Structure 1
Amino acid sequence: MNSIGDNCTELKKKYDSCFNQWFSERFLKGDTDDSVCAPLFKIYQQCVKDAMKVQHIEFKEIEGDVLGSDKEQKVPPKSGSSSS
């Protein structure tokens, strides 16, 4: 999957690769120190934040729980059906 910003996609791929390698070769063997990918994550995270600004997406719009809240969009009931 590509990143939100076209210029962030390569950074995302590098971070994903680092994370997958850390997860399979370290985490699953008990090493929970995830700092090995932290520098890549910070660079990728900043790129995403910059892309969000360009696309006028505010961070507060994407944070927080939606599922199970009154903000969750639900499928309207079908016409003619009754609920018990």
Structure 2
Amino acid sequence: MDSVCEECTDAKRKYDSCFNKWFSERFLNGHTDLQQCDELFKTYQECLKKGLVDKKIDLGDMNRTVLGSEEDKLGEPKRPEKLG
């Protein structure tokens, strides 16, 4: 599958390939060390962030920690009210 930002598709495919290999060869055999794909993920993430900003998409929620928070425990996301 292509990335939502066309310019990031190559980085996404490299990360997907690494992740799928890790999942099938390591995770399914009880190993949870995903560090081998970290750099590929960071490269894709940075490309994606830039592409989304260029498309004027708000990244506010992308950098928000939810897991383990009160919001997560409540089960419903709290959306900030939009002004205007």
> Are 1:31 and 2:31 matched, yes or no?
yes
Residue 17 of structure 2 aligns with which residue?
17
Q: Given the two structures, how large is their TM-score scaled by the length of structure 1?
A: 0.71
Relative contact order higher in (CA < 8 Å, ≥ 6 apart): 1
Matched residues, percent identical? 44
How many pairs are equivalent?
Answer: 70
Q: 1:60 Cα deviation (Å)?
A: 2.1
CA gap of 1:70–1:38, structure 2 versus 1, over 3 A, is closer
RMSD of aligned residue pairs (Cα, Å): 2.0
CA gap of 1:31–1:58, structure 2 versus 1, over 3 A, is same
Query: Which has the higher Rg, Structure 1 or Structure 2?
Result: 1
Superimposed CA distance per residue, residues 9-51 of structure 1 (whole angstroms, 9 cap, x where no aligned partner):
0110110000000000001101100000001000000000000
Q: Given the two structures, how large is their TM-score scaled by the length of structure 2?
A: 0.71
What 5-or-longer segments of structure 2 have no aligned partner?
A: 80-84
Equivalents in 2 of 1:61, 1:4: separation in Å?
Answer: 17
Q: 1:58 Cα deviation (Å)?
A: 1.0
What 5-or-longer segments of structure 1 have no aligned partner?
A: 72-84
Equivalents in 2 of 1:49, 1:34: separation in Å?
Answer: 22
